[in-house]
Structure 1
């Protein structure tokens, strides 16, 4: 494994199979860059230019972990400028910086030898100070300097503090020297958002380009924007604050440090995240949401308005009023009426991007806004509602540059859909609340109306699913132990028994050929087989299964180094293929195999271009087909709760609708290749960087529905991906994968998802709870026999130190992918009426964990006459608490998804009659 990593990272022996993809990445990279400032210096002519900044040679191309992509070569900023006709006057300083990077590579190789290189983690080289001699050389023959700020992407769990968003002393010194020596300075930001207020105002800084994390062709993409080969059309997808403390989320940050009093984070800002906060509380940003400049200018006018209970339709005419060709992003915001439900000042309700318009040319764009996009979540009635009043639509180029253009008048409060009351906070939370906004004089604008009497609310209700069906073959002797068990999991359900005809000779092939139903086939499988299907291949144990075929099947296993696979041990006996999963959002992540490294999700979203997302998806799907990958684990749809957090590059936007719609474009592109599909990630509130996978997020139901779930629901409705990946953290006290209200009532019942739900890698949840909740596939794998223990009464297994046996195995990044404690049917609970005991001999040391539990009142320690210690634990005897039907339902969801996979098709093609 380590040899593969070293070969792929350093020797570059692997070559991209589709080198033409570089042109696609180059175009996407340029389209995702945002021009933040331009005092007439850009576009610039090729020629002599000074180049400084760590990002000039140590350019960041992609992220870490699941965002890291192997590729055969990358183009840094220096190379990109030289490739495109520039001459650099800073050879001496660049040589020193390159030498420092090479020395640091030795450290990087040591990291690789420890098995960490595949995560993309690098030892970022500190910037070299600029000497007087360096500056004397730099100013010869040019009055223009490009300075590339590069802040390293910090790993998950590393404590960066506020200072990681501020320029370093060396950077400030270098910028100060440059600003006093050059008439024209172009500042390029090759990182996440930083505190730039102090330098953005400098007179000699004539232009600022947000380069972000732009993919493998970074330098060439930047050169295209600088020279005007590409007119910048990128727009910010998150608000850029003047300082870190201007964000509403900074006082309940997304990182837990050593001084944290508890392993939880309160989302005290409620719905006021990003521009929703800046607008409602009148906080002036450095650059607003949706902001971005162009080398030309545009005029936008609303031409048409229509409202129905399906959608609000607006037609906007965009005209290029400048002197060069370019593209404009049309942004429509809606101010909802003030009522009983808290609302922000405005929300992004629709958007679109024009084609390339020549000077004087116009384009009419039709934007359809679904009614659900205008709804608010009312916690009191547990419903999505539209309150009575005026829905004011604002047309503009960013959230702070809009004009009223239309309104839709609703005559009464209308319930659009009632949903189940789930995911309630377990503690009282106090949220931010702005002052009521003043009434606006709308003047003459286009008006449409909606009548609540025309909307039929009947049957617009999503009930709680309170039962599970266990499928049994006729004649089976099975009694429901779950129904009679006084212990219930976090959400109790009733087990129904349904008897069906014996199907003991059928295979998954027969289901696909409609000879038997999926339920009939699954009823013929033993619990031992079922338990292996619901767990990924990692750490699996083998079980014998009868061969139900009367012919041979050739099964070819994909042996590439990827994220995970499902079991393939039943491929030739039951016709169930092992399917493959590969990260990630920035490109296929295969160990030692060079793939296309796309711009980061943040950069792709900054295109505001659905066609660009589809184009990326098609290129991505092409590589999936070549390498026989069934599912990519992308898009990552969590919002930017705070875009100055170092992992913001992983996600699309602070706006949930924008993130969901653009993510759907990627899904559509991938699915154009038969049998290739995607797994959305991570549902939900995966916004923390605590480094602890069991951190608890306390969030209101309104914020959860309107902000944190909406990207996923929007993507689901538009593109129907193959499945979703849970987050590993807790939400309001319970692991997301163990939330039946989330995985069953919301995702499956409300959204209508028929795909599979996956647990996060190395999650610490109890897997029986996950299966009960509707989390179907445990990733990247688990011990199947431990899953089955929840279906029988099992005693704890104790070690000599008095604590139960702890299983940690299958390590990745020095973290165990499989971890659990062998408590069996016993559940620790100091108010429980059951007890279990173990003895620690006199000369043995008691585990620190036991001593900690004693302090919590969960066990007692009694010294006996012979010096041994009797440890008695208090708790609940759960007995057998997982229903067979819950295991079967997970398998039904998994097989119902993978029967459409490329691996399934290939397995059937390999069948030899």
Structure 2
């Protein structure tokens, strides 16, 4: 057993304090002001606040599941307001709701305990806790007696979600409950200053908030981590300025989203998901099909106003450059403004969305009257669309209108790029043959959203002509199968020899047996799950980390293990643990990363001699969606840097984050872990996060879930039927951007199938596209239990699981968390030494990067 990297000091560390202060400073950038009639920020005259809502004390710092973080403490909403020197006058009402929640939780825990008793298996209870997590009950109705005199009222609506289960378009989830609507209406009529705060990780229905007279402000406070109450109070009182903008379209009605009635379990079929909307996802759909949203993609108000003017647009080669002047026209508050550049491509043989985001920039904090000129740049080759018939990205002839604006619903045409003839920007090969016929959405009879003067803008737009030789066609090269390496030397090669230059990696790989490499390509949870191991907490060297790679060759080959820990809202570890005199973990004195009812039934140990306690509290940063809402890559890189610091301190090599699946539908239970509905935003955010983490020696990210993990119900066995064009333009594009911009150390595959083939076993996805086309150099690993072994549901599935042997053949290097069955499958299924060497090489290169 190695030396524990955790601290023996129980007191809050200087690192914890510094990191919470950092989050406090940048988290407000991700809060989005949806409505404001001047109510916010509350003035100095506000000394008393009436605080209500299910999130007032029971706020959500982040989502459930592996994306949760075990921080030392969480600053609640009420606590944050009180610490700011404001009196909260609604304590008795909040106490009453506390009692309701305590009773409700007791009943839920009793249900879990009964499951443990009846089955004798704590893991069954764990899966129930995981798939059907506890949710606080509906809020009680506010009475006249509850509404004490106050200078302002705040109502906090909280919603949580998590992996393993999708949300529902029902009251208490996507919709408001009747009690919530009644309470908001009463408070709006009682208090002159009334704020509704949305402590949510995704979209909810906002019609009632916009229709009730007297709601002075609506703030999407999101889920900001363990200092959420402090950040909220800062924004409420004007100490910090909310400068966030939405990264997903908020519709007027749930039924306005494409495929609203077939997503996940909405049609009763969780086995097959048909991506019939094709490329028309998010604002691409709303704009093209004339669906006016409640709040557009990129929308966000400020405490001040800005004047945005495009001063120049130029074309140099294939680079489009727009100069945009932004001025704070207010006279009281500072602020930051977002500017977006969209392009409208001409229709030809391929249908195009009305507009697509191609660049964005955010100002520095501008004081009243201050002005800044932003430079937005985009390459014309990125305007191309994927043509399945020619297996190429093509620019069709015509005018490509450049639009500048604050959000997707507020743009102006500022220039046009004239393309004289069809240009092939990239020649590829089709890799994702559809396994069923799709009824793809067509815009043939659609009426797009428009605005007065749009056609006049197009007619008068400055035309910039693209030179015929400005773009050189890129032709992808696909590598042949690996060739077996041999080394018959009697002198044993170690990884230290490779590092020192005494031998090559080929020399080492040539000596390794199939058995050694199969072991290296499978994680260390050899006995499967159960016993004193919990899903996602299988590391032997960093308690609470998700797992390790093999260390069986540590002694004779110097191949040390890699430690992998969950994310993406911070580092997920056991907050404290204890070891006996033999340096072995004491289960009954160690916190489990998944603190679920029934854990008391985990095996106990005999405590030997003196006990040593360790502490590894980590910082809960804002959820990924909130980080994306900053539209500030420097902030996101700083968040990654913060996590990388904690990884380096605690001995974690690979962070199983960031999550970057497309927010295809607002009901996805894991949307809070993902950045955006737009692949450019998702890719740029993931790249910034990766750059922050990988500043630290021995630390890397694991972008996930590759690919099409866009639903949680039956996530391990669902088949995503999706066109090649939609895959390349929407669902894979963010991953491509992240790989090209930041070269993360690893990628995690998703559970689901893509067109009938498991992502974990998909050679075309993992090798042909990711490695050959994009140039990815790192390790590809499976999600936990992809090859089976953790399934607790007693039913037949239409689609089964992937297998470890085909993982190796497809270029999925590491099967996690691993089992003896996975190793045996690799050895029995005829996987060649050359195939194993290719995977082992990438794992060893990662070990060299992280451990030497």
TM range (shorter): 0.7 to 0.9
Taking structure 1 as reference, are residues 747 and 295 closer, same or farther at Cα in structure 2, changes over 3 Å only?
same
Which structure: larger Rg?
Answer: 1
After superposition, the C-alpha distances for 1:715-745 in whole angstroms (9 at most, x for unaligned) are: 1111111011000110000000111110010
Residue 669 of structure 1: how far off its partner (Å): 0.8
- Change over 3 Å in CA distance of 1:360–1:21 after alignment to 2: same
Give the 3-state SS of the residue equivalent to 1:315 in structure 2: strand
* Residue matched to 2:483: 469
The structure 1 residue matched to 2:297, chosen from 283, 289, 304, is 289
> Aligned residue for 1:90?
90
User: Which residue does the alignment assign to 2:228?
Assistant: 218
Residues 132 and 165 in structure 2, CA contact (< 8 A), matched pair in contact too: no
Deviation track 1:303-331 (CA, whole Å, cap 9, x = no partner) reads 33333455322222211111221111111
Normalised TM-score (structure 2): 0.85
Give the secondary-structure state (helix, strand or coil) at the position aligned to 2:688.
Answer: helix
Query: 1:179, 1:185 within 8 Å by CA — same for their partners in 2?
Result: yes
2:157 corresponds to: 149
- What does 1:172-183 align with in structure 2 at a 5 Å threshold? 172-183=181-192
Partner residue in 2 for 1:64: 64
CA contact (8 A) 1:64 1:121 kept: no
Closer, same or farther: CA 421–165 of 1 in aligned 2, 3 Å = same
SS in 2 for 1:453: coil
17, 24, 27: which one aligns with 1:26? 24
Partner of 1:228: 238
Query: In structure 2, do the counterparts of structure 1 residues 452 and 108 end up closer, same or farther at CA, with 3 Å as the change threshold?
Result: farther
Q: TM-score, normalising length from structure 1?
A: 0.79
Answering whether residue 716 of structure 2 is matched by residue 693 of structure 1, we say yes
Residue pair 1:392, 1:408 contacting (<8 A) in 2 also? yes
Q: Secondary structure at the match of 2:496?
A: helix
Partners of 2:367 and 2:42 in 1: how far apart?
A: 20
2:832 to 867, 883, 886: 883
Q: Specify which of 811, 816, 822 is matched with residue 779 of structure 1.
A: 816
Please give the alpha-carbon distance, in whole angstroms, between the structure 2 residues aligned to 1:594 and 1:107.
30
Give, in whole Å, the separation in 1 of the partners of 2:12 and 2:109. 21
Helix, strand or coil for the counterpart of 1:657? helix
* Residue 218 to residue 748, structure 1, CA distance change in 2 (3 Å): same
Query: 3-state SS of the aligned residue for 1:468?
Result: coil
**Residue of structure 1 equivalent to 2:271:** 263
Quick check: 1:197 aligned with 2:180? no
Secondary structure of the residue that 1:472 maps to in structure 2? coil
1:169 aligned to 2:178? yes
Change (3 A) 1:535 1:256: farther
After the TM superposition, which of the residue ranges 151-160 and 375-384 deviates more from structure 2? 151-160
1:443–1:299 CA distance, 2 compared to 1 (3 A)? farther
Could you tell me how far apart the structure 2 residues matched to 1:391 and 1:706 are?
A: 17
SS at match of 1:56: coil
Matched residue, 2:437: 428
Asked if structure 2 preserves the Cα contact closer than 8 Å seen for 1:66 and 1:119, the reply is: no
Aligned mates of 1:519, 1:508 — CA distance in 2 = 11
Partner of 2:579: none
1:527-542 alignment to 2 at 5 Å?
Answer: 527-539=514-526
- Mapping of residues 436-585 of structure 1, within 5 Å: 440-441=455-456, 442-457=458-473, 460-473=474-487, 502=489, 504-539=491-526, 558-585=541-568
Shift of 1:558: 2.6
Q: Which segment drifts farther, 435-444 or 281-290?
A: 435-444
8 Å contact kept, 1:249–1:273? no
Do the aligned residues in 1 keep the contact of 2:715 with 2:751 (CA within 8 Å)? no
Partner SS for 1:770: helix
Structure with higher RCO (Cα < 8 A, 6+ apart) = 2
1:658 alignment partner in structure 2: 681
- The correspondence for 2:651, drawn from 621, 625, 628, is 628
User: How does 1:638-657 map onto structure 2 within 5 Å?
Assistant: 638-657=661-680
Partner Cα distance (2:265, 2:317) in 1: 42
**Aligned in 2, Cα 1:469/1:157: closer, same or farther, shift over 3 Å?**
same
Note the alpha carbon deviations across 1:96-148, whole angstroms, 9 max, x for none: 1233334445457666995749969863322442343xx33424244x32111
Cα displacement (A) at 1:198: 2.6
> What stretches of structure 1 of length at least 5 have no aligned partner?
1-7, 475-501, 542-555, 793-879, 906-913
Quick check: 1:402 aligned with 2:400? no
Question: 1:452–1:888: structure 2 CA closer, same or farther, 3 Å change rule?
Answer: same
Asked if the contact 1:96–1:128 (Cα under 8 Å) also holds between the matched residues in 2, the reply is no
C-alpha displacement of 1:394 = 0.9
1:767 maps to which of 760, 785, 804? 804
